[in-house]
Structure 1
Amino acid sequence: MSGENDLIKLYSTRILALASDIPHTDRLDSPDATVKKRSPLCGSTVTVDLQINDGVVSDFGQDVKACALGQAAASVVGGAIIGTTPAQIAAARDALKAMLKSDGPTPPAPFDGLEVLRPAAAYKNRHASIMLTLDAAVEAAEIAQKAHCA
């Protein structure tokens, strides 16, 4: 029964609020890159559209079909990503992974809102869903940068 109570605590009011209010859910008409990621364990999917101008994300769209934890992560990322560099996105992805796997530090600003997902570290089967948006955004930023350099 305590395991069930821990899971209920995991889905805090803040996580559920984030999950219900995901920014940038409209897909972009002409993105520099589009990347779709899927978690094989739970079937969650995220599709990210990204546009980069002058080395920073200038527009972002996402289609999120994930559990509340994946949705909460997408919400934080969607609210923070415009104006960031590909290096900042990669640093946030790496920090989130370390936070979940080894109690690493909170991802750096402007992605520090991902701290709300720290309690999910105990639920390894949820990690892939939480990582989807940042994994897709990192890949999309790499593709977009290459397109601008070509």
Structure 2
Amino acid sequence: MSGESDLIKLYSNRILALAADIPRQDRLEAPDATVKRRAPLCGSTVTVDVKVEDGKIADYGQEVRACALGQAAASIVGGAIIGCTRDEVHAARDALKAMLKEDGPTPPAPFDGLEVLRPAQEYKNRHASILLSLDAAAEAMDSLRQSDCA
């Protein structure tokens, strides 16, 4: 397959549709935690706000300044993260990382929609951008655990 064909496959209609319709793009007014992450290679950034009740994400807001792949990942995360615990966020992040780097299994539900990003495995320079939302959400949940709020 030529490089151009590979890129066409990578930027599928589904990925572009997800990137165009990112849920929860409003920042929270009084979050329990806020984390901003940046992918150094491409400069993509994601800022997430979380509100946690009873150890589960009760509200989530995000500001996404990323490539289409990072936007697609943020779209899936934003649509799936409400009600998740710290452990579920970590499991999703770890599974996404393994899927991209080691051809591991698809992240567990409710994050199984991240399967659409499997074609990005070959593009290591895109991995950090794809992982931004879950990395930031995991870090936010960790910061709350350290302060005994989550």
Under TM normalisation by the shorter chain, which class is it?
Answer: over 0.9
Task: State the Cα distance separating 1:144 from its structure 2 match.
Answer: 2.2
Hey, what does 2:119 align to over in structure 1? 119
Hey, what does 1:25 align to over in structure 2? 25
1:1-150 → structure 2 map (5 Å cutoff): 2-149=2-149
Deviations 1:51-100 (CA, angstroms, capped at 9, x unpaired): 11001000000000000000000000000000010100000000000000
C-alpha distance in structure 2 between counterparts of 1:7 and 1:89, whole Å: 29
| Residue identity matched to 2:105 | P
Task: State the Cα distance separating 1:145 from its structure 2 match.
Answer: 2.8
C-alpha distance in structure 1 between counterparts of 2:136 and 2:96, whole Å: 14
Task: State the Cα distance separating 1:122 from its structure 2 match.
Answer: 0.6
Give TM-score, length-normalised by structure 2: 0.97
Please give the root-mean-square deviation of Cα atoms over the aligned residues, in Å: 1.3
Deviations 1:98-136 (CA, angstroms, capped at 9, x unpaired): 000000000000000000000000100000000000000
Higher deviation after alignment, 120-129 or 136-145: 136-145
C-alpha distance in structure 2 between counterparts of 1:149 and 1:131, whole Å: 24
User: Secondary structure of 1:108's partner?
Assistant: coil
| Residue identity matched to 1:28 | L
User: Secondary structure of 2:147's partner?
Assistant: helix
Task: State the Cα distance separating 1:149 from its structure 2 match.
Answer: 4.3
4+ runs of 1 displaced by more than 4 Å?
none
Q: Structure 1 regions of 5+ residues with no counterpart? A: none
| Residue identity matched to 2:34 | T
Higher deviation after alignment, 137-146 or 43-52: 137-146
Deviations 1:20-71 (CA, angstroms, capped at 9, x unpaired): 0000000000000000000000000000000110010000000000000000
Aligned residue pairs, count: 150
Overall identity of the aligned pairs, in %: 73
1:50·1:144 contact (CA, 8 Å) conserved in 2? no
Give TM-score, length-normalised by structure 1: 0.97
Task: State the Cα distance separating 1:143 from its structure 2 match.
Answer: 1.3
Q: Structure 2 regions of 5+ residues with no counterpart? A: none
